[in-house]
Structure 1
Amino acid sequence: MRLPLTLCLVAPLALAACSNPRERCINAATEELRVVNALVAETETNLDRGYTLIREPGVRTGLHFCLSPTNPFTFCSTAQPTVTDRPTAIDIRAEERKLAQLRAKQNELTIRAASSIAACEQQHPRR
């Protein structure tokens, strides 16, 4: 079980190492903007839907037959982690205020990212 987790953690680092300095600079310059864009999209979806989905971790248990050297027919229990999306009511006015603030931040970050991208392109021109 440790190997897949290790691969999941190492793979993005390996891919990042493959990118060139210009791409790394642009990705760093636009990271905050990408986060705010995702939050804007999520808030718009919540407003359209009228509620939000809260992810709740849980465990699903089950029984099955298992074999053992001492008792050939016995029951064993299993536990599988699950995640359930639970609909939750939202305050529409508060979500609208949040969306307005996020859009203002989005505009600010778009301007900042544009100048940072220009600096990255000047620092690392295409070849």
Structure 2
Amino acid sequence: MTRNTALAATLALPFLVAACGTPQERCISNNTSEYRTVSSLLAEVEGNLARGYAWEERQVVRDRLTQCRTVWRDKDGNRVVGYEPCWRDYVDTQRYRVPIDPAAEERKRDNLAARQEKLRGRAEAVVQACRAAYPEEQG
């Protein structure tokens, strides 16, 4: 898979997931995405503060020796399919530590916590409205 194809598949995944689920689940998911994003960022910042450093990732292209399918003709002109060793590129994700500024992280945490509180009321109202608009049968 080429890098562009892998990137396109990664970007399309949220749309595929959003297409799944019941109407109620889609309604809740579509209308609470900002609250969930802020909550996720807040959890990440709190983890950074607890550890004393942040994690970042980078993509590294490496070579790997593998078996490649080859087709050739023998001395009689017959088509022969076989495998031979060859080098292929693959993308590896490296995770590494990054130092943080604790004061800046604390300010970021405080701002995200305030933003989360503002969004919480709207998210709760949206969930109730979606449950009322799309009641699910209890089976």
TM-score range, shorter chain: 0.7 to 0.9
Larger helix percent:
1
* Structure with bigger gyration radius: 2
Distance 1:23 1:64, change over 3 A: closer
Contact 2:20 2:26 in 1 (8 A): no
Contact 2:57 2:95 in 1 (8 A): yes
Which residues of structure 2 form unaligned runs of 5+? Answer: 73-83
Which residues of structure 1 form unaligned runs of 5+? Answer: none
Distance 2:27 2:94 in 1: 37
Aligned to 1:42: 44
Aligned to 2:116: 106
Larger strand percent:
2
TM-score calculated relative to the size of structure 2: 0.69
Total equivalences in the alignment: 121
Distance 1:67 1:104 in 2: 57
TM-score calculated relative to the size of structure 1: 0.74
Aligned to 2:107: 97
Aligned to 1:28: 30
1:122 CA displacement: 2.5
* Partner SS state of residue 135, structure 2: coil
Identical pairs, percent: 36
Aligned to 1:56: 58
> Once superposed, what is the RMSD of the aligned Cα atoms?
3.4
